[in-house]
Amino acid sequence: MDHFPTNWGRPNYDSFDTHATYPLHNRGQNQAAAGGVQHTQQPIVTGTSVLAIKFKDGIMMAADNLASYGSLARFKGVQRLHAVGDYTVVGASGDMSDFQYLQHILDGLVISEETTAQDGHALGPAEIHEYLSQVMYSRRSKMNPLWNSLLVGGVKDGDRFLAYVDLLGVTYSASTLATGYGSYIAQPLLRKAVEGREETLTEAEARTILEDALRVLFYRDARSINQYQIATITANGAEISSSLKLETSWGFAEGIRGYGAQTQ
Amino acid sequence: MFRNTYDSDNTVFSPQGRLHQVEYALEAVKQGSAAVGLRSKTHAILLALKRSTGELASYQQKMIRIDDHVGIAIAGLTSDARVLSNFMRQQAMASKMIFNRPVPVNRLVSTIADKAQVNTQEYGRRPYGVGFLVVGLDHTGPHLYEFSPSGTSFEYFAVSIGARSQSAKTYLEKHFESFADCTLEELIRHGLHALRETLQQDKELTPANTSIGIVGPRGAHEADSVPVEFRILEGTPIEVYLSTMQPKDVPAPAAAAAAAPATGGDEDVQMTE
């Protein structure tokens, strides 16, 4: 029996803590004791690479429209780029349910911080990135990560911002960034095309650079499709395009024995 | 009278629709020594009169730095001021930690106003017995706010709180239209004149009993300090500002000291311009 009067009539934890061994101030806060918690061990429905570059007028970000279920190309109409406030776009690879949770959190943040106050203090990409970094690192420290690699890009008060944050809480910033397979295959292409030219690249040139990198990724990444979206953020705000299709050419396969039309 | 029956509980209105406990809390603010705040297009400053219990004692601290870009002057119960200013510091730190940005000053003031309001509506709690003048600089420019234990906050061009603050308000009302374009030195001069109005008969402003808080670009007399951080000036560094004050018997003009003819001491305030 619990002899402590303030606990009478309150939720009791006798099923796992029969002798009230947890001190008062954190009785009932120990979720593990209260019936178990689940920690993310592996991502289930996943998105592949996100690419982003700085150009003359702002930031451009690209991601395909696929959410895979292991090796199955399960959902083909998924938007992996999300606009937050008026100045920022967040692109995600990794677990899509964790990304949907983050989208929900970010939308709520814009409402509570900006829409209710309406006092001229808006959240820009730097603030969004800092907030996400704190959330991601805090989840990793509880051994329950949000299994994503995120790119945060935007333009506010004339300043272009582009940074990365992932499930470990690691952050970095550069004028070209990529997640997943993109960080191995696309990053060298992006760097070659962009580095040194961040102040002169036009929007059309930036689009071509991203499309070419996406095309290479479609050829090489077995968990990608050739349907994608591009987000462009400039001083005029954030704009996410509708779905576009990559033109590819597989003609080279014809000549390879076992891949092309059967020849003797 | 009726006032006494309805004034012991925070949660009891008087028949006139007043909360006497809150009004008594405002009295505590009026008992504190004066603090003056004013702002221009570039700076926001605070000036405060420090009290000491006697010649052997030190002077009571009247200004507290909340963050690089926010500072306050207090009037009232110093212990309540410590608790509330600590809370403000935590809010300022949280903004930097979570969003990597200095807390917007208006939101910081709204937060303590909301916190103080709780104490005017919950049974068993007493209102805070301290009022603040808050100055801060964010990307929307310099700002000055008054916070009061009733849970209200207002933004001002110029304001004063504490003992005999009405005299300072009279000076400020007379001259506030010229504040926007003042240099830092001119603004401080106005503030010192306003603060002097609150002094008792034989007292004067000295480096020991005056405190100046500034937020905004470095002034002409500030060599080493970082440009826009909130800084508190006390002691020897303020002698140069005290020396720019008009002697008390001569009417204080609004802008640069033109040779205004003395009016023979009949009026102690001259309506210039």
pLDDT in tens, B130-180: 999 999 998 889 999 999 999 999 999 999 999 999 999 999 999 999 999
pLDDT of A81 > 90? The answer is: yes
The conformation of residue A200, written as its DSSP 8-state character, comes to: T
Using a CB-CB cut-off of 8 Å, the residues of chain B touching A121 are 104, 106-107, 138-140
Picking from B171, B204, B218, the residue whose alpha carbon sits closest to that of residue B190 is B171
CA–CA distances in Å: residue B198 to residues B77, B179, B191: 19, 20, 11
Interface test with A, best of B70, B91, B100, B110 (most A CBs within 10 A): B100
Picking from B46, B24, B131, the residue whose alpha carbon sits closest to that of residue B81 is B131
ipTM score of the complex? 0.81
Q: Residue A48 — pLDDT band, cuts 50, 70, 90?
A: very high
Query: Where in the sequence numbering do the catalytic residues of A fall?
Result: 40
Using a CB-CB cut-off of 8 Å, the residues of chain A touching B104 are 119, 121
Return the structure tokens found at B133.
Answer: 């003048």
Note whether A127 contacts B99, CB cutoff 8 Å. yes
Q: Residue B264 — pLDDT band, cuts 50, 70, 90?
A: very low
pLDDT of residue B225: 62
Picking from B216, B207, B252, B239, the residue whose alpha carbon sits closest to that of residue B37 is B216
Percent of chain B with pLDDT over 90: 75
This prediction's pTM: 0.84
Minimal-distance CA residue of chain A relative to B105: A121
Residue pLDDT, tens place only, B21-55: 999 999 999 999 999 999 999 999 999 999 998 88
Averaged pLDDT for residues A117-127: 92
Check residue A258 and give left, alpha or beta (phi > 0: left; psi -120 to 50: alpha).
left
pLDDT of B124 > 90? The answer is: no
pLDDT of residue A1: 61
Q: Residue A29 — pLDDT band, cuts 50, 70, 90?
A: low
Averaged pLDDT for residues A4-31: 69
pLDDT of residue A263: 61
Return the structure tokens found at B222.
Answer: 């500030």
pLDDT of B254 > 60? The answer is: no
Percent of chain B with pLDDT over 70: 89
